[in-house]
Amino acid sequence: MINQVCMDIVNLELCHSQFQAEERKSPMSILHAALKMTMAEAQWAIAEVTKFTTLSINPREQIAVEDCMELLDYSVAELAWSMHEMEKIENGSIVHHQENLRAWLSAALSNQDTCLEGFEGTPGRIENFIRGSLRQVTQLIGNVLTMYNSMHSVKVKSHKNGTRNHEDSDEFPSWMMDQDRELVLAGPQGMHVDAVVALDGSGRFQSIMEAVNAAPNYSERRYVIYVKKGIYKENVELKKKKSNIMLIGEGMGRTVISANRNFMQGWTTFRTPTFAVSGKGFIARDITFRNTAGPWNHQAVALRVDSDQSAFFRCSMEGYQDTLYAHSLRQFYRECSIYGTIDFIFGNGAAVLQGCKIFTRKPLPFQKVTITAQGRKDPSQSTGFSIQNSYIYATEPTYLGRPWKEYSRTVFMQTYMTSQVQPQGWLEWYEDFALNTLYYGEYRNYGPGSSVARRVQWPGYHIIRDAPTANFFTVGRFIDGRTWLPATGVKFQVGLTT
């Protein structure tokens, strides 16, 4: 057990000495101590990265350093959540507690990669120093996640395909709070609203960011911001402390948040989003998130999500390259529209898209349209993209995805595909990178572009033929949706459609 925790750690002797006392107790005791040590290492890394904020460096490097500090803060928070969650599972085997821990450790493992990716296009000297500071914390998180997965193999009972689901029922689950039931039943005019945003001055705020800043920090109850119709030209960011916020507009194309930050202006991809959210439990409804930078400005994110257990209902994400950055943690999208050209659904979250419409746009000359670029870097991570009961309206030659990282994982299930989805289906990232280790799957898709007869023959590509395998990628199992989606008021289907 100690060898597994200390695997590939530079100072092996020191690592062993940290856990010798815990070895006499229990495996969970070792795991708890490992988490504590990992969190201390992450806090040390923050202190090291902070030193670079006082140096005279170019603007892109400065932004990348600031990204790293924020992302390491994410890791510290996610490790702290994990330590707290362990207290709930030490004496039992409660599935959703185990799934929480997997989700949070998976996110913490990816943050350091995002930090380093921000140095693309810089001289590399600062990146090399920071890479050294991050190496040990990344290794420790990976070791803890691997060890936890080996200790806790979750067995989830299968459910019949015909199981009654939330959207088919007029009843609310017993665990839904009264306040949330009111949110579901009422329209914007009938529900309790905490803040109104309106461009014409008829609300308390005229900008969304002002309303977000005025919202309580670490709220335990749903805080509702109603945004009247109009085009709000601003970049909005909800930090970790802004939890349980619900943002309601007047409809896709009517309430629009629009900006044009992009990579060519000197921003890191992480910092380009028109709208970015990392506070837990975020809900958005009837809103358009738009980045107008265009295809020539390359990476330009419309929406970035680091919010665990977040849900988006009847929203539109509009951009070109890198439109929807499902960066980390558990996310659900229902009846949304996503527009883009290159890797326009990307990141390393655990995301399910259900009943969504995916539209391709015309790319730059010589570019190939790819819908997804999922970034799973470790086989222990519980991340991936599942596109279910959706619609791909491709007007350009289109590929379903390409492997951004070594263990990229994406499935399309029961989804309509137009004829512009190419016969081979999927595209290489670079030569044979990740073709043996990725997991790409298709299950009972339909439409002129859905034939699997000429699909790629990669070892990691799977034509899924059985329902139990496909069920792994549904709301109920992949993002543990039964435990949190009912309280959002967003329609969802637990399993497969029959």
Could you report the per-residue pLDDT of 18-30, keeping only the tens digit for each? 555 555 556 677 7
User: Edge-to-edge strand order for the sheet containing 369-374?
Assistant: 236-238, 275-277, 303-305, 324-325, 342-347, 369-374, 398-401
What kind of fold does domain 341-497 have according to CATH? Pectate Lyase C-like (2.160.20)
Q: How confident is the model at residue 88 (pLDDT cuts 50, 70, 90)?
A: confident
Determine whether domain 1-150 maps to CATH 1.20.140.40: yes
- Is 116 in a helix, a strand, or coil? helix
Q: Compute the Cα dihedral for 175, 283, 161, 407 and give only its sign.
A: negative
Cα–Cα dist 59/385, whole Å: 33
Rounded-to-integer distance, Cα 335 and Cα 470, Å: 21
pLDDT interval class at 17 (50, 70, 90): low
Please state the rounded mean pLDDT for residues 350-358: 98
Q: At a CB cut-off of 8 Å and minimum separation 6, what does 275 contact? A: 235, 236, 237, 257, 289, 302, 303, 304
Domains 1-150 and 177-298 share a fold: no
Helix ranges (H only) for 282-348 are: none
Structural domain spans, the chain: 1-150, 177-298, 341-497
Taking the CA atoms of residue 247, residue 340, residue 439 and residue 480 in that order, the dihedral angle to the nearest 10 degrees is 10
Q: List pLDDT tens digits, range 126-176.
A: 999 999 999 999 999 998 898 888 776 543 333 333 333 443 333 333 333
Q: Binning pLDDT at 50, 70 and 90, where does residue 316 land? A: very high
Catalytic residue among 308, 322, 343, 480: 343
Architecture field, domain 177-298:
3 Solenoid (2.160)
Residue 10 neighbours by CB distance under 10 Å = 9
Q: Which of 323, 326, 256 is nearest to 295 (CA)?
A: 323
pLDDT at residue 189 tops 50: yes
Average pLDDT over residues 228-242: 98
Query: Greatest CA span in the chain, whole angstroms?
Result: 67
Q: For residue 343, indicate whether it is catalytic.
A: yes
Return all residues near 186 (Cβ < 8 A) that are at least 6 apart.
none
Listing DSSP states for 379-434 in one string gives TT---EEEEES-EEE-SS-EEEE--SSTT-EEEEES-EE-TTB-TT----SSTTTT
* Gap between the Cα atoms of 183 and 35, Å rounded: 38
- Do the Cβ atoms of 244 and 268 come closer than 8 Å? no
User: What average pLDDT does the structure give for the chain?
Assistant: 88
Q: Exposed, middle or buried by CB within 10 Å (0-12, 13-18, 19+), for 188?
A: middle
CA-CA distance, 324 to 318, in Å (whole number)? Answer: 8
